[in-house]
Structure 1
Amino acid sequence: MAEPRDAFTSKVRWPLRLTWAGLIAERVAGAFWPFWSVAMICLALLMMGLHQTLAVELVWAVMIVAVLSLILSGWYGLWKFRWSRRAEAVARLDATMTGRPLQALGDAQAIGAGDAASEALWREHRKRMAARLDGARAVHPDLKLARRDPFALRYVALLGVAVGLMFGSLGRIGDVGDLGQGSQALAAGPAWEGWIEPPAYTGLPVLYLPDQAGADLSIPEGSDIILRFYGEVGRLTLAETVSGRIGEVPPASDPEQKFAVAKDGRIEINGPGGRAWNVVLLPDAAPGVAVAGPAETTYEGQMSLPFEATDDYGIVAGRAVIALDLDAVDRRYGLGLNPEKRPVIERDLPLPIAGSRAEFTESLIDNFSEHPWAHLPVVVTLEVSDEAGQSGVGEPVRMALPGRRFFDPLAAAVIEQRRDLLWNRDNAGRVARVLRAVSWEPEERLFLSEADYLQFRVILRRLETYASAGITKEQRDEIAQALWDLAVQMEDGDIDDARERMEQAQERLNEAMKRGASENEIAELMQELRDATQDYLRQLSRQAQQERDQNDEFDSAENQNFMQMDMNDLQRMMDRIQELMEQGRMAEAQQALEELQKLMENMRVTQGGEGQGSPGQQAMDNLAETLRDQQGLSDQAFRDLQEQFNPGANRGQSQGNQGRSGGEGQGQSHDGQGGRGDGAGDGGQPGERSLAERQRDLRDELNRQRGNLPGEGTEGGQAARDTLEQAERAMRGAEDALREDDLAGAIDKQAEAMDALREGIRNLGEAMAEAQREQQGGQGQAMGNAGSQQRDPLGRKPGSRGVLGGDDSLLQGEDVYRRARELLDEIRRRSGEGDRSQDELDYLRRLLERF
C-alpha cells in the first residue's frame, strides 16, 4: 500500500521505529532462546570450576556436547528467524488506532472523483484520520516464551549464571585454555586443590587454597591443611615446615596429604602449576578470669561473687576453688587445734546461656552458711578453660567466706560452738562445757521460747554422751545440724513472740513510770524496750522480705495504710520519752509512750493480699490460734516436767507471768490455777481439766479446721491438708503420752505437731498467694492504680504495680531486667562501703530489705 509521507514526518516516525524494533526483538527471542540458554549453562559450569574437578576425558566429552548444542541451537535460531519488514510494523501500529488511520491516509478516492462535493468529503475524512495520528503509541513487543519453553529452561540457565557469579569465579574460565595444549598433556597433565580447615570452635570458615592470593597466609593454630594431587603420581610433590611432623611421614608425592599447622613455616607444591606460601601461625591465646568486685551477701547468707572472663574464641567451662587460708586464721579458743582435713570447695562457674562467651561478666551465687569455714579466711581461685584445652587461672583472692550472720547473742554463740565442733572433733568436750555454762541458770529472756531451751538441753546431753565415748564423724555431723537448726530457730524467732516481748517491755515501763521507779530502773526498762522494739522490727522486716520473695507483689489495697516508719523514727520517739522522764515530766512521757504503742499497733505487713474477711485469711488465723494453743500446752507440759525433777522450782514465776499455760493470757500460775480457757471450746479453767483432755480438744478443733480448709484441688491446698494430717497424728501421739504420764515423749510429739502446723500454714499461704495471682491476671490496671499509692522509704510515690519511680517509666525498652539487676547490684555495692554516712547506709539497707 502507498504510504503518506507527510503523516510519518512528525507524528508516527518514532512510534513506528520502536514498534519495528520490538517486532524484530520478538523474532530474535523466539528463534535464539535455545542458543543463549545453552550458552549460559556452559558459562555457569565454567565459573563453578567443573572443568577443574572432572577428569580430562570427561571434560572433553562435556565440551564436545556443549559445542554441538551451541551449533544446533544457533542453526535452529537462524532457520526460524525471519526479518521483519517495515510494512508489518506499520500494520501492527495501525491496528492499535481506531479506524486504521495509516491505511486510510494511504488510500485513494475510488468513487466520486471530479465531483466537488465528494472530493470535499474525502478531504475531510483524511483530515480526521490525520488527527487520529496524534494518539499513536509504540506497540510493546510480546517477548513471552512460555509456549515455546514450557519447562522454563531459560530460567534454569539464568539461575546457573547467578550461582556461578556468587559462588564461583570468572577467572576459572581462563583455565579452559590450558586444556588445549596437546592431547597428551590433557590426558596426563597434573592438577591439585587444597583446603584450610580452622578448628570448629573458632567459628571461622573453610578456605579454598587455590583462591588464596599472595604468598603469605595467616592460619589459626590447630588448622588442618588438606591437599589432593591429580594426574601422574610424582609430578606434584609437597614440601612443608609447618606441621613439625617427625617419625613416619607419608611420601611427599602421595595423592592426598593432610597435616595440622603447629608453627610458622612454608608450604610449597612443586611441579607444573605448583605454588608456595609463607605461613604465619595465629596462636590460640589462653583464657583469662578475674574477680570483678567484692562479694555480696544477703540476709540469708547467700553469696554473690562477680567475675569477668575473656578468651579469643570463647570459654567452655570454669570453676571456683575455695581453700582455707590457715595462716590467716586467728588460732585461739576452739580454733587452737589443728583442723581436720577437708576437701577444698569446688563450684562450677556460671556461663552465659546465649550470646558470645569470648568476653562476659557473671556472678557466682551460692550459700556457704552451713560450711565449717563460714566467716573464716579463705583463698578463692577462679579457673576457666577453652575448647583447645587451655586453662586460665585468676589471681587468688583472700576473703572471709561469706555466710549468714546471727545477731541474736545466744544464736551467735551456738553457731560459734558449732564451728569449733566442725573444726576438730576433739573440741567436743570443750563445746559441751561452754554450752552447759551458757545454759546454767540462764538469765531472764535468754531463751525466748521454752521449747528452744528444751531443744538446747537435749542437744547438750546428746553431745556430752557422744564426747564421753569418742564422737564419730556421723555423730559430729548430726550434732552440727541440730545446732544449726536451733540457732536459725532462735535467730528468726516468731513475730508473735517478738511483739509479746515488746508489749511486755512497754507495760513494764508504763508501770514503772506510774509507781515512780528510780532512774536506774527506768533506764534499764527503757533499754529493754529499745532492744525489744528493734527485735520486733527485724522480725517484721524479715517476714515482709519472705513474703515478697514468695509473692512478687504487695497487696496494694492493704498497703495503703502501711506505716512508713523506720528504726530512726522510733529511736527519736524513745529518746523523747527518756528525755521527758529524766526531766520528771512523767505525765507527758506516759502520753508519748501511749502514742508509741498506738503506732506500733498500726504497723502492718501484708499477708499475700487476702482480705480480713476472706475464708483463706480466716483459716490461717484459726490455724495460728491453734498453733499458739499447742505452744501453750507444750509450755505447760515442760513446766510440769520441771516440777517432777525440781519441785517448787517455778513457784516464784507465778505472779505476773507473761507466758502461756495452755493458751494466751496473763497472770497464769504454773500450778494450773487461774487464767483463761485453753481455747478448745469449753470455756473451762485450765486447772479443771487434764493436759490429755485439753490436747484431745485441740486435736478435734484441728480436724474441724482441716475439713473446712480452702484451696481444695490446688497443689498448695493439698500440701496444707497433708501437713495438717501429720500434725493431727502427732497430737494423737502427744495425747497418748500425756495419758501415760510420759511428759518427755509428749513434748517431743507436741514439737512435731507445731512444726507440721507451721508448715501447713506456709503451704496454705502459698496456695492463697497463687489463687490471688491468678485472680489478678485480669485486674492488672486496678492493681497498678492501687499499687501507686505505696511509697518508698523516702515517701516518694512508686509507679504502676508498685515499681519504684515517678509517674513516668524510668525503664523502657527490652533490657529493663538487666537494668534492674544493675541497679540492685549498685545498691548492694554502696551498702557495703563503710565510709558512707550512717543515714545513707540505713537508707540503702531499707532499699535492700524492700527489694
Structure 2
Amino acid sequence: MVWEQAARAFWPLATVLAMAFAALALGVVAAVPDPVLPWIAGGVVLLLVGTAIWAGMRFRRTRMTDAVDRLDRTLPGRPLAALSDRAAIGGEGALWQAHLAQMQARAALARAVRPDAGLTRRDPLALRLAGLVALAMALIFGGAGQMGQGIEALAATVSRPVAGDAAPTGPSWEGWAEPPAYTRRPTIYLNALADGQGLELPKGTEVTFRLYGQGASVTQDIGPGLADDPQAPGFRAEQSGAIEVAGRRFDVTVLPDNAPAIRAGAAPVRRADGRMVQDFEASDDHGVASGQAVIALDLTAVDRRFGLAVDPEPRPAVELPLPLPRGDRQQVKGQLTEDLSRHPWANLPVSVSLRAVDGIDQVGQAEPMAIVLPGRRFFNPLAAALIEMRRDLLWSRGNAGRSAEILRAVTWQPEGFVEQPLYLQLRGAVTLLEGEALTDKARDDLAEALWQAAIQLEDGGLSDALERMREAQRKLSEAIRNGASPDEIQRLMDELKAVTDAYTDMLAQQQAQQDPAERFTEQQQGQQITGDQIQQMMDEIQRLMNEGRMAEAQELLEQFNRMMENLQVRQGQGGEGREGSSGNQPMNRLAETLREQQRLSDEAFGDMQDQFGQGEMGQPSPNSEGMADRQRQLRNDLGQQQGLLPGQGSPGGDQARRRLDEAGRAMEDAERALREGDTGGALQRQADAIESMREGMRALGDMLNQQAQQGQQGQQQGQQGQQPGGGDRAGAEGDSYDQRPALDPLGRQRDGNGNVIAGGDPLAEGADPSRRARDLLDEIRRRSGQAERPRDERDYLGRLLDRF
C-alpha cells in the first residue's frame, strides 16, 4: 500500500525528471537555440515544482488499520472485522462461539493482496511509459560529453558575463586517436593527456578532432588527411612528427608494424591412421590474424618410374589453415593435424611452406621444408596395388590403360583370393578404364571406389569400428562441454565403452592374421598398453565425471582419444596380447566383476544406513533378497572366470586362483548374511571379497607381464631398456625429456609422446593411489556400521562417505 500511494502521487514527478535527464544525456538541450533555452528551462522548473507539490498533497501515510481493512475487504463476510466485534445482546454463548469459529476459518484463508496503483486509469496517455523509454534510451545511447554540453548551455543562460570581464569558456576542441582494430588497443582521448606528454601510436592510427567556435586550427606532419571538414579534421598516422591544435603541441612517435614471423617445428610426423601432424610457432607485435600451410609437389624429387613416368596433370597447391587460439595471438604455438591420405600426393615428395598474416596483410613465411607427404600405408599386397593404381590415375589419366592391365592381372582367377562383390567392382573398373577418355568426375569416382576397396581389404570392418569409436568420443566430449545431464553423460560413456571394446577386439583379430614381419613394420618403440589399462583409463574418466570434475574428465578423454588413434596390437611370442589384444579379456572380465562387487557393496551400505535411521537394524530389508541374488550371480560369474584363467600350473596362475577362491567364499558368506538381515556382516565379507579379487588380479597381471617380457627379450636387444612390468621406457630410466618422471593421470609412467601408456600395472597395483583410496573407503564403511562407536564419530564418518 505504501508503494501504491507513492506510485499514484509521484509518477508525474518521476516522468518529468526522466524526460529532463534524457534531454541532457541525448544532447537535446545543447541543440536548443540560446534564445529559446531559458524559456524552456523555466517551464521545466515550474513543471517540476508543480508536480512535486501535487505529489506531496496526494501522498498519504499508510496505517495498519488501513492495511487490515484492505485485506478484510478481499475476504467473504469481512471476517477480520467480525473477530473484533462483541455481542450486543445474548452474551457470548455457543452460537456466538460458532460464529467466531466460522470467521476464524475464513480469516485463515487470507492471502497477500496484489498491489494495484491504478496507473493505467490515472495516466490514460501512458506518459509514464514515454518517460521510462526516454530514460532507457539515455542510459544506452547517451554520454557524459552530451550531458556536460547541456549543463554548460543551461549555465550560460543563468550567468551572463559582466561587461569587461573574460567570459568562461569550455574546451575549444576535442581530439581522439583510434588505433587500428587488429591492434586491440583502446582509443586515446587527447584532451585527457597532460601537457608535454608524448604520443606513441601504431602505424595506421586515425587521429580526429572536433573544433568548437572560431579561430582554432590543426597542423600536423604525421600523415595524409582523412576529411575535408575544417571543423572536424582527421588524418592517418604514417610517420613520426608533431600535432599542434589551439596552442597545444603533441609529439607523436609512430610505431612501425613489423611483419609476422613463423617457423616450423620438427618435420611432420605420420600418425597410425595416416594423419599428418606438424608443429609450428608464430609471433607478431600485434597478433597473428591468420596462417596457412602451403603444400606443393616437389616434382624434381619424385622417382619418375612406372605410373609416375608420364607428366602429371596440373593440380593446385594444397592450402591448409593453421589453427590459431582465441584471444592473444602475439606468441602462438600450435599443431596442424590434417588427414591427407587420400590426396594424390600422399607418400610423395612435397615442399611445405608455412605463412602467417597480420592485421594489415603483411606476410611472414618460413623456409620451405622438403618432406614426403605423410599418408596411410597399406600392407595387404592387393590393397597396396589398388592404392598405387589410384595414385597413378590421379597423377595422370594417361595411366588408364596401364591400370586396366594391372587390374586384369590381379583379378585373374579370383577364387580364394578376391571376394565376389569386390571382384565385380574391380571388373567394372576395368571396363571403365578401357572405355572412352575419363572425365574428371569419372576419374574421381573411380579413385574413391579404389580407396574404399583397399580399405576393405586392409581393415575389413575395422575402419567402420574406428569411425564408430571416434563418433562416440566426439559425442561424449560435446556432452561434457555443454553440461549435459548425468544420465545423458552416463549413456554416452556406456556407448563409448561398448564401441571401444568392439574396436580393440577387431583390431586384435585382424593383427593375429597378419604375418609377423608385416605386423611390426609400423610400430614405434616404447609404446605399449594392455587391455586392462584401457579399461582402467575409462574407469578413471567415469570416476572424474561422477565427482563432477568435468574439466579433468575432458582432458583425460582427449588423451584417451589420441591414444586410441595410434593404437596398434602387438603380440608377443607366447601368444599373450599387448596393446589391447584379446589376451587380456580374462583380466577385463575380472575388472568388471570387481566393479560390480563394489557397486553392490555401496548399495548394501546405503541400505544399512536406511535401516539404522528407521531403527530396524538386524532385520531383513525389502532390498536384502534382491542384493543376495545379485551376490550369488557375481559368485557364479567369478567361478566361471576362474576356469578360463591362463597360466594353470604356474606359480602366478596358482596364486591368482587361490585368491579368487577366497573371494568366492567371502561372496558366499556375504550372500548368507544378506539373507539373514546382517548387513554389517555382509559389508565386512564383501570388503574381504574385494581385497581378495584385487590380490588375485595383481598376481594374474604379474604373470602376464612376465610372459610378455620373456617373449620380447629377443626383440628388444639394442633397443630401449625394459622397465618392471614389461613396458618400455621413454628416455633414460623412464624419465621424460625434462628429466622428470612422466606420469599419466593414473599415476603410472608414460611415454614421452603422451599418446600411450607405458608400464603394465594391472587394475589393482599395490602402489596405486586409487587402490589406497578404495581401502580407506572400505575402512570408513566398516567403522560407520559399528553401532558401538560414538554417535558423533559415526556422523562424521557418514559425512565423509557423502563427500567422497
The alignment's TM-score, normalised by the length of structure 1, stands at: 0.40
